[in-house]
Amino acid sequence: MATENTRGLARLMLAPSVALLLIWMIVPLAMTLWFSFQNYNLLNPANVSWTGLFNYKYFYTDPAFFQSIWNTLLIVGGVLVITVVGGIAIALLLDQPMWGQGIVRIMIISPFFVMPPVAALVWKNMIMHPGYGVLADINRALGFQPVDWFAQYPLFSIIIIVAWQWLPFATLILLTALQSLDGEQKEAAEMDGAGFVSRFVYLTLPHLARAITVVILIQTIFLLGVYAEILVTTNGGPGYASTNLAFLIYRTALLGYDVGGASAGGIIAVILANVVAIFLMRAVGKNLDR
């Protein structure tokens, strides 16, 4: 079926996508790499010069740098733990027979479709606000002092918001995987006298391994770049307490007009993403080859 002719046609059909993505990947990245060795400030664009590794040194010695990397990892790790553990629990619950399952599913999946600025602002103003938020109302009703979430626990608050957005994704994927588990296997295990815990550990969890892997991989890609949630809530503060690497680079570039410094940060972000990707692929990738 694959004659020379159709093969040529197939290549032609593939070419535009490959070309576009190749340009998209190479041109901006090459520019970032080039800028990262330049002394280039947008406020003084006439004065561009080669500085070698100065930008990297500058970025590296900035006390905000290590904090931002640590914050980035905390956001990724924190959200992953909450969504995977919570996702498994909710998926197990939704897998039970119940009344109104359709509506329950719709409600649980909804946060995933809420755009990040809306999610962050709703949580910031209506839920976590120390004066008018629902949590403050609850605290007062119970006789406690309201908590100023974004001032006292800025990073934790952001993790909660982002976890709320991604919990439905994890739940939905884990539930889909759970539903493909053979019912007869479960029953056989039950008849053999396996309790809930041993059924979960020896039967359900191994069956979910692949889905958990997929959840971790995909969420990590998105979680490394959390941005809008920080922008509209804490703006990275107080100080650098809730600044992740993405936000630090944005600050350097568009608020500090420092093209060189931001580019050096960008290259570091690429390296970090690759390290995380390789680490993840190694650690959990073998699950995917089945």
Partner 1 sequence: MARAVSTRRMAVATIAAWIVALIIFFPILYTIITSLKSEPEAIQGFNLIPSFTLESYVTVQTQRDYFKPFMNSVVLSVGSTLLALLVAVPAAWSMAFSPTNRTKDILMWMLSTKMMPAVAVLVPIYLIFRDTGLLDTRLGLTIMLTLINLPIVVWMLYTYFREIPGEILEAARMDGATLWGEIVYVLAPMAVPGIASTMLLNIILAWNEAFWTIRLTTTNAAPLTAFIASFSSPQGLFWAKLSAASTLAIAPILIMGWFSQKQLVRGLTFGAVK
Cβ closest to partner 1, residue 103 vs residue 197: 103
Q: Tokens 């608050």 — which residue?
A: 157
Minimum Å gap between C-beta 52 and partner 1 is 18
CB of 205 to partner 1, least distance (A): 16
- ∠136-140-144 over CA atoms, to 5°? 100
Residue 125 CB, nearest approach to partner 1 (Å): 6
- The distance of closest approach from Cβ of residue 70 to partner 1 in the complex, given in angstroms and rounded to an integer, is 17
C-beta of 74 vs 231, nearer to partner 1:
231
Q: Which is nearer to partner 1, 10 or 205 (CB)?
A: 10
Q: Where are the alpha helices (DSSP H) in the chain?
A: 4-35, 54-61, 63-94, 101-109, 116-122, 134-141, 149-152, 154-179, 183-191, 196-199, 205-223, 228-233, 245-250, 259-284
CA distances from 205 to 178, 209, 210, 280, 283 (A): 9, 6, 10, 19, 17
Least Cβ distance, residue 157 to partner 1 (angstroms): 13
> Which residues, 6+ apart, have CB-to-CB distance to 267 below 8 Å?
32, 33, 36, 56
Residue 155 vs 232, nearer CB to partner 1: 232
- The residue among 30 and 81 lying less far from partner 1, judged by its C-beta, is 30
